[in-house]
Structure 1
Amino acid sequence: MANDPLKYLALIELPILLVIDERVHFANSAAQALLGSHIEQQDIRIALRDPEALRLIKTGQSGNVRLVGLSVKGSVWEMRYSMLNDKVGLITLQDQSIQVSVARAHADFVANASHELRTPLAAIRGYVETLLDPKAGDDPQTRYQFLTIIKREAARMEALVSDLMSLSRIEAIRHEIPSAEVDIVALCREVLAEQTRNPAFTLETDNSRVLVAGDAPQLAQAIRNLVDNAEKYGTTEKAAMIRIEATDHGWVSIAIEDHGEGIAPEHLPRLTERFYRADAGRSRAAGGTGLGLAIVKHIVERHRGRFDIKSRLGEGTTATIMLPQLIQD
C-alpha cells in the first residue's frame, strides 16, 4: 500500500479501517477513537465482534451491516464493507444513532397520538350507537347522561388536536429566535386574569417591568400551561404563586409554585416527554392531553431558555422557566 492514500484516509472524520487477510492493516484516527488505538495490526475480531459483520468480511463480498452498541449502549452504526482489490477490504462506519432515535421518537409519537385520539372517539361512537337504539334513546335521563359524556369526550379530542397543532407550529419555527420585546410581568398578570382558581394565584416580584426578547403568544401559552397544571394538581386550601425574579446574571426566572400532592422523584426526568403522565388516570380526569409540558419545553428551548421542575411528595411542585433578560440601553 502506498503511503499517500493512507495520509488522506487519516484526515477523514468518518471511522475507516483497511483490512488485509482479516487483520486491521490501517485504522484512521476516527476509527481508533471509536474502537481503540490497539486495533491496528490485530485480528478484525478485536475491533468488531458482531457476527454478521465478521461473516461479511470473511466472505470477501461488499455489503452493509447494522451494528448496535458499537460505541455506547443503544448506539446504531452502519458498517459498509467494500473490496478494493483481491486482498484489501475497506470498512467505513457511520453513526446512525440520531436518525434512528428521531425515527423511533416519530413512530412512538404517531402511535401515542393515534391511541389518545382513538380512546375518546371509541367512547363517542359507542354512546352514539346506544342513543340510536330506540329503547335507550327515548329515555330522557339516559339520553342526557350519554350526551354529556359525548360532549366531554369531544372536548377532550378538541384539546388534543389543539395541542398537537401547537406543538407542530412550535417545531416548525424552532430555529427562528424570537426578537419582539415582551414584558413578562404584564404577561403573567394577563394569564392570571383568565384563571378562576379559589383561592386565586398570587404574583410576587420586585420589578414592575421585566423585559425579554420573545414571542408573546407562545410565552403566554407556556405560562398558561403551567398555571393550568397548578390549578389541576395544587390544593385549593393554599394559594398557588407565580414568582418573577430578574437575576444578577442577566436571566429572568418565572417560577410557578403549587402546594399539591407533589410528584414522585422517578417521574421528574420524564415529565416533558410527549404523552408521559405521572398519574394517567388523574391527568385524563382533569382534562390533560399529556402534551402540556412538552409544549412548554419546546417554547422555552426556542427562546434559548431553560426549564426545570422540582417537587416533593406532600409539599407541592415548582416549575421554573429561565429566559435571557433583555437589557435596554
Structure 2
Amino acid sequence: MADNTEATDSLSSTAGPTSPLGRLRDLRWVLLVALAAGALAALTYDVPPAAVAGALVLLVGVALITPRRATPVPSIAADEQRNQRRMWPGTGMKVTVDALPMPCFLVDGRGITRYVNAVARTRYAAVRPGDPVSFSLRAPSLLEAFDRVRTHGTAERIEWAEKVPTESWFEASIAPIHLPAANGSAKSGANPDFILVAIRDLTEQRRLERMRTDFVANASHELRTPLASLTGFIETLQGPARDDAVARERFLAIMLDQANRMRRLIDDILSLSRIELRAHVRPDTYVDLAEIVRHTIDALSPLARDMDLDIALEAPAGEILVQGDRDELIQVAENLIENALKYGSTGKRIEVAIEPGRPSGWCLAVRDYGEGIAPEHLPRLTERFYRVDVASSRSMKGTGLGLAIVKHILTRHRARLDIDSKPGEGARFAVTFPDQGAAADRGAGRPAG
C-alpha cells in the first residue's frame, strides 16, 4: 500500500456569494441602518439630501470592494487524512522499524498488523499487513501481554518457549506508540495509535546455558568411574605393586583403556553439545546420501572384517541428494552402522539400504540379525547414557551417547528415526529424510510416487 504522508489540519474558506447583489444582500441591515440615520440627519439638522445620498453611495462602494473574512469550516479531506495517519504508519516510522535487527510488527489499536520489517517477513513469511496479529503470533502469553498494553498503555516485556518444530525460546518487547495530537501536544495512556512488537530469539543463548549445565552433570557422572579406576591403579603401582613387573604391565593397559574411555566420553559430550546448539538452524546445502553411505562403509570395513561380518549395500544408481550437513550425516551413518556391527555380531550380516521413503523422500535403513532389543527399551534408546546392557556397552567401548547424537542431528535435518526390533530377530534403524522439491530442480534422483 502506498505511504500516507502526515497531514496537518487544514481549513477551507467559503466566501459566500461573490456577486455585488449577493454582497448587498449580506449587508442589507447595515445599509438600512445607514439610510435611516441619513434621513434622520437630513430632517433634524437640515443636511442637504445630496450629501446624504453621496454618503450612502460611498458606504455601498466600500462594502462592495472590501474583502470578506473567510469563514473557517473543517475540511472533510483533512479528517480523512487524520484517520489514515492513525491507521497506517508514516514513512519515518517504517524506516525506523526497518533499521532494527530483530523481527518487528507495527500493530494498530484494534490488533491489525499494519507493517512488518524485513527481518520479520523472513522469519514469519505468512504474515501480511491487514491481517490480525494473532494470525502470525499465536503464543498465548504474547497475545495476553499485547491486550494489556492496548488497554493500559504501558510497555511490557515477556518470554515464552515453543516446542514445534524444535524447542525454542523468545523474548518480546511490546510498547505503545501515541501520535501527536492536532495541536502538537503529546498523548499518553490507554488506546495507543500503534503498538510496536519486537521479538528477540533467545534459543542460542538458552541452548548454550543448557549445554554448560549438561556438560557438568554428564561429565561428573560418567567420568567418575574411569577416574576412580585410574586413581586406584596408580595408588597400587605406587604401593604394593611397585616392584611387580607383571602387575605393572597389566595395570598400565587397564589405565590406558580407561583414559581412552574418558577421551571418547569428552569427545561425544562436546559433539552433542555443538549439535544441540545448532538444532534450530536447518542446513541449506544439498549432499549425496549415497556417497556418504559408501564412504562410511569403506571406513568401517576393517572393523567388519575383524568381527567377521559382511556389510551389504543396496542403493539406486546415481546421486541421491538430500538437504543436509555432510559431516553430520556421516556421523549418523557411522553411529548406526557401527552399532549394528557391535550389537548384531551374532548374525554375521549387516544390510544397509537406501530406498524410497513413505510417503515421500528417501529412507536410509540399517538392519542387523543379532539378539534384538526388548520392546520396553525401544522408547528410551535415544536418551543420553541409556544402555540396554551396561556391561555389554562398556565392553564394546560405547559411551551411551551415539543414538542421542543421531537423534539431535536428525532433528536439525527435520528427519525421522524409526526403530523396529524384536528379541532374537535383530533390529532395523530407519532414517527418513523429507521430500526435497528443490532437489528435483537440480537434477537429483527422487523416488517415484
State the TM-score, normalizing by the size of structure 2: 0.49
Q: Quote the sequence identity (%).
A: 47
Counterpart residue identity of residue 254, structure 2: I
Identify the residue that residue 119 of structure 1 maps to in structure 2: 225
Alpha-carbon spacing, 1:113–1:310, altered in 2? closer, same or farther (3 Å): farther
- Asked if 1:210 corresponds to 2:320, the answer is yes
Task: Within 5 Å, give how 1:17-166 maps onto structure 2.
Answer: 110-133=216-239, 135-166=240-271
CA distance in 2, matches of 1:254, 1:213: 14
In the TM superposition, what is the alpha-carbon distance from 1:221 to its structure 2 partner?
A: 0.4
Identify the residue that residue 306 of structure 1 maps to in structure 2: 416
CA distance in 2, matches of 1:250, 1:172: 29
Q: How big is each residue's C-alpha offset from its partner over 1:70-92, in whole Å with a ceiling of 9 and x where there is no partner?
A: xxxxxxxxxxxxxxxxxxxxxxx
Question: Which residues of structure 1 form unaligned runs of 5+?
Answer: 1-10, 15-101
Q: How big is each residue's C-alpha offset from its partner over 1:161-180, in whole Å with a ceiling of 9 and x where there is no partner?
A: 00000001101111211122
Q: How big is each residue's C-alpha offset from its partner over 1:179-201, in whole Å with a ceiling of 9 and x where there is no partner?
A: 22211111001111111212221
In the TM superposition, what is the alpha-carbon distance from 1:141 to its structure 2 partner?
A: 1.1
- Asked if 1:328 corresponds to 2:433, the answer is no
Any conservation in 2 of the 1:109–1:274 contact (CA below 8 Å)?
no
Superposed CA RMSD in Å reads 3.0
In the TM superposition, what is the alpha-carbon distance from 1:104 to its structure 2 partner?
A: 10
Any conservation in 2 of the 1:210–1:325 contact (CA below 8 Å)?
no
Q: 1:171 aligns with which of 259, 272, 276?
A: 276
Any conservation in 1 of the 2:368–2:428 contact (CA below 8 Å)?
yes
Counterpart residue identity of residue 234, structure 2: V
Q: 1:293 aligns with which of 403, 407, 413?
A: 403
Larger radius of gyration: 2
Secondary structure of the 1:309 match is strand
Any conservation in 1 of the 2:369–2:425 contact (CA below 8 Å)?
yes
Question: Which residues of structure 2 form unaligned runs of 5+?
Answer: 1-133, 142-206, 442-449
Q: Counting strand residues as a fraction of each chain, which structure ranks higher?
A: 1
Q: How big is each residue's C-alpha offset from its partner over 1:278-322, in whole Å with a ceiling of 9 and x where there is no partner?
A: 111111111111111000000001001101111110010111111
Secondary structure of the 1:193 match is helix
Relative contact order, CA 8 A, sep 6+: which one is greater? 1
Q: 1:273 aligns with which of 359, 383, 390?
A: 383
Q: How big is each residue's C-alpha offset from its partner over 1:190-238, in whole Å with a ceiling of 9 and x where there is no partner?
A: 1111112122211112333211011000000011011111111002542
Secondary structure of the 1:294 match is helix
Identify the residue that residue 262 of structure 1 maps to in structure 2: 372
Secondary structure of the 1:221 match is helix
- Structure 1 stretches of 4+ with a deviation exceeding 3 A read 11-14, 102-113, 247-250
Any conservation in 1 of the 2:211–2:273 contact (CA below 8 Å)?
no
- Asked if 1:192 corresponds to 2:302, the answer is no
- Comparing 297-306 with 177-186, greater Cα deviation is found at 177-186
CA distance in 2, matches of 1:309, 1:109: 27
Any conservation in 2 of the 1:246–1:325 contact (CA below 8 Å)?
no
Q: How many residues align?
A: 239
CA distance in 1, matches of 2:276, 2:213: 16
Any conservation in 1 of the 2:418–2:429 contact (CA below 8 Å)?
yes
Q: How big is each residue's C-alpha offset from its partner over 1:136-183, in whole Å with a ceiling of 9 and x where there is no partner?
A: 132221011101100111111011000000001101111211122211
CA distance in 2, matches of 1:280, 1:189: 31
Q: How big is each residue's C-alpha offset from its partner over 1:236-293, in whole Å with a ceiling of 9 and x where there is no partner?
A: 5421011111337431100111111001000000110111111111111111111110
Alpha-carbon spacing, 1:108–1:240, altered in 2? closer, same or farther (3 Å): same
In the TM superposition, what is the alpha-carbon distance from 1:111 to its structure 2 partner?
A: 3.6
Q: How big is each residue's C-alpha offset from its partner over 1:49-94, in whole Å with a ceiling of 9 and x where there is no partner?
A: xxxxxxxxxxxxxxxxxxxxxxxxxxxxxxxxxxxxxxxxxxxxxx
Alpha-carbon spacing, 1:206–1:188, altered in 2? closer, same or farther (3 Å): same
